[in-house]
């Protein structure tokens, strides 16, 4: 009984430690305007038309679904930021993108196999 409790405690500590190690991402916002994209056709790098819920990063493959803590769930459908650990969220208007501003948040990959944490250099 005590042994089970000790193992459970160790596992919990490990989970907490891993969670703490997840790097923070810089989260910014953009829209399909000329200012944000140097073009205004609204077509993402994946070929799909930009819609709400899409975001851009170089760190993960297209169609990866992620949860940005405190912001929401998004699908990676665009490339944009050149730097790593940077996610750009698409908004329908430039004003909304400006209002979002810049934030820092941890990111979880939500995959078919459940939840994996992102460890990136």
Site residues (vs Zn ion, CB under 5 A): 31, 33, 35-36, 94
| 117 contacts 18 by C-beta, under 8 angstroms | yes
Minimum distance, C-beta of residue 95 to Zn ion, in the bound complex (Å): 9
Nearer Cβ to Zn ion, position 79 or 108?
Answer: 79
Minimum distance, C-beta of residue 87 to Zn ion, in the bound complex (Å): 16
Minimum distance, C-beta of residue 1 to Zn ion, in the bound complex (Å): 60
Nearer Cβ to Zn ion, position 26 or 108?
Answer: 26
Tokens 């919990």 belong to which residue? 12
Nearer Cβ to Zn ion, position 76 or 97?
Answer: 97
Contacts of 50 (CB under 8 A, 6+ apart): 32, 42, 43, 44, 77, 78, 90
Contacts of 72 (CB under 8 A, 6+ apart): 53
Q: How far are the Cα atoms of 1, 2, 4 from residue 86, in angstroms, in the given order?
A: 45, 44, 41
Nearer Cβ to Zn ion, position 19 or 99?
Answer: 99
Minimum distance, C-beta of residue 51 to Zn ion, in the bound complex (Å): 15
């Amino acid at each position: 009984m005590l042994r089970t409790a000790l193992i459970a405690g160790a596992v919990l500590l490990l989970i907490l430690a891993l969670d703490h190690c997840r790097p923070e991402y810089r989260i910014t916002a953009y829209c399909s305007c000329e200012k944000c994209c140097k073009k205004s056709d609204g077509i993402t790098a994946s070929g799909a038309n930009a819609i709400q819920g899409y975001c851009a990063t170089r760190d993960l493959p297209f169609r990866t679904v992620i949860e940005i803590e405190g912001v929401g769930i998004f699908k990676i459908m665009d490339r944009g930021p050149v730097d790593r650990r940077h996610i750009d969220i698409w908004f329908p208007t430039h004003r909304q993108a400006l209002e979002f501003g810049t934030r820092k948040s941890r990111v979880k990959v939500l995959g078919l196999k459940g939840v994996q944490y992102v460890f990136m250099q």
